[in-house]
Amino acid sequence: MSKLHNLKKYLKEQAALIRATKKELKAYQKEHGGYDGGYYKTLSNLSRDYRHHHIAYSMLRGKPYEVIERPNTRIAPDMDFIKEIRDAYTEDVCISEA
């Protein structure tokens, strides 16, 4: 299995984990009158990690950043973190930088 395939698998697992965490948050809020129980922080961290991995995956497949996200995104991604992810998954991926 290629490293790029492993990255895609990781993204799918993270998406499932985010969905499950959202369900847990809603159930917790119903039981505790709207209190989040720390789930918002967990969701924020999971979402940030997923976003950066998704951007790196898309860039490895040849899409420029401008196509991946809207140009007027309020919070800019951490491009250093994205570069680290890309570097970790580029051993067997052929990338042409044009």
Confidence (pLDDT) at 35: 81
Domain ranges (residues) in the chain? 3-88
Closest by CA to 78, choosing from 56, 52, 50, is 52
Q: How many residues does the chain have?
A: 98
pLDDT in tens, 34-90: 888 888 999 999 999 999 999 999 999 999 999 999 888 889 999 999 999 999 988
Model confidence at 15, pLDDT cuts 50, 70, 90, reads very high
Confidence (pLDDT) at 73: 86
In angstroms, the CA 12 to CA 2 distance is 16
Using the 8-state DSSP alphabet, how is residue 91 labeled?
A: T
pLDDT in tens, 53-66: 999 999 999 999 99
